[in-house]
Homo-oligomer: A and B are copies of this chain.
Amino acid sequence: MTDNSFGTIFRITSFGESHGRIVGVVIDGVPPGLNIDKNFIQNELNKRRPGLSNLTSSRMEPDEFEILSGVFNNSTTGAPLSIIVRNEDVKSFHYEKIKDIIRPSHADYPAYVKYKGFADYRGSGRFSGRITVGYVIAGALAKMILKDYGIIPFAYTKSIGNVWDNQQYSCENMNKLIALRDSSPVNALNLVLSNEMINEIETVKKENDSIGGTIKCIINNVPPGIGSPIFGSLESNISKAMFSIPAIKGIEFGIGFKAASMRGSEHNDPWIIYQNKIITSKNDAGGIIGGLSTGMPIEFTVAVKPTASIGKVQKTINIKVMKGVDLKLEGRHDPCIVPRAVVIVEAMAAIVILDELLKSGKINTSNCKEVF
């Protein structure tokens, strides 16, 4: 039951509920002397905030964070940071009405069994995507440190429904990619496809339905030799992090599932010397071999299931009376969670990569400003 912490040296502990007083996070292992860029953190939080467009839930949350500990004179001290965000726009009456109804594709039933009926069901409680507010805050801190090493975890919407952006983007110019993405309301990189994705979302919204998608993440400048073989493989730790994000149902590294149909002669990435550096001439491995970073960009794609909450009538059961019912969900829901999940994927990626760098001794825990 004690699984609300993640990471080894840079270690976060999540707490809070969707409709409770707060959501929050304790971040342990932050090196002392890091200047806190509050605007950056707020900006990251804004990227997952609801209520900002008609493509997202209408829940209005300012998502202003409060640092309760660990910062002194605007600098980290080496002590654990505890940071909370208050839940402001809580309307729990929708949930009160349906508290005996098992919502399809929600954790209601297994949570009922696990927590013997004591779980806070309002707004899905601990199972809500709102919990990821804490991930984004911790990820923002991790990004601040990684930035000094030139490492930028970057994610974008690769597909929504059947609209796929299959282009392979180079991360040579990360700032350009970021600008492109930030100009798209759905965090896509291609303007035409972005509009198609918006259409897709508007269509399902009109039909009281929802839609899934995929998010691709690229992390540049990770030095070779980070990670471990066996249980501490980069894939192991990244995947564990990604599946901590609600609604993620699949992950693949590099060319991923396509590798299963390939021959070795086709899939193997040839090593070459380029400008005196050892690199591979292509990157089907997604920057990871044997659990270790190769020095090439780390690339992975996650599958996001369609939002479980839909306005369409669904058949399900009332657990109290053990009878079938028709359920028409009210409340405020995202027709597609993918665009808001992009920053969450980045955040968890940043947390893993920073932790791995710290474990590898590449970042001196006593001084986050040292170079490797």
**Option from B81, B106, B319 in Cβ contact (under 8 Å) with A290:** B106
Complex Cα–Cα for A14 and B11 (A): 13
**Option from B78, B204, B263, B367 in Cβ contact (under 8 Å) with A210:** B263
Residues of B within 8 A of A75 (CB): 118
Residues of B within 8 A of A252 (CB): 249-252, 257, 303
Number of interface residues of A (CB under 8 A): 155
Residues of B within 8 A of A187 (CB): none
- The answer to whether A305 has its CB under 8 Å from any CB of chain B is yes
**Are B4 and A209 within 8 A (Cβ)?**
no
Residues of B within 8 A of A233 (CB): 243-244
- The answer to whether A26 has its CB under 8 Å from any CB of chain B is yes
- 0/1 per residue, A310-329, Cβ < 8 Å to B? 10101111010011100000
- The answer to whether A47 has its CB under 8 Å from any CB of chain B is no
Complex Cα–Cα for A308 and B271 (A): 13
Number of identical protomers: 4
Flag the segment in A48-56, A143-151, A356-364 that touches B. A356-364
- The answer to whether A220 has its CB under 8 Å from any CB of chain B is no
In this complex, the member of A32, A248, A295 whose beta carbon has the largest number of chain B beta carbons within 10 angstroms is A32
Complex Cα–Cα for A354 and B316 (A): 30
**Are A105 and B285 within 8 A (Cβ)?**
yes
**Are A110 and B292 within 8 A (Cβ)?**
yes
- The answer to whether A259 has its CB under 8 Å from any CB of chain B is yes
**Are B263 and A231 within 8 A (Cβ)?**
no
**Are A272 and B324 within 8 A (Cβ)?**
yes
Complex Cα–Cα for A352 and B361 (A): 19
**Are B294 and A110 within 8 A (Cβ)?**
yes
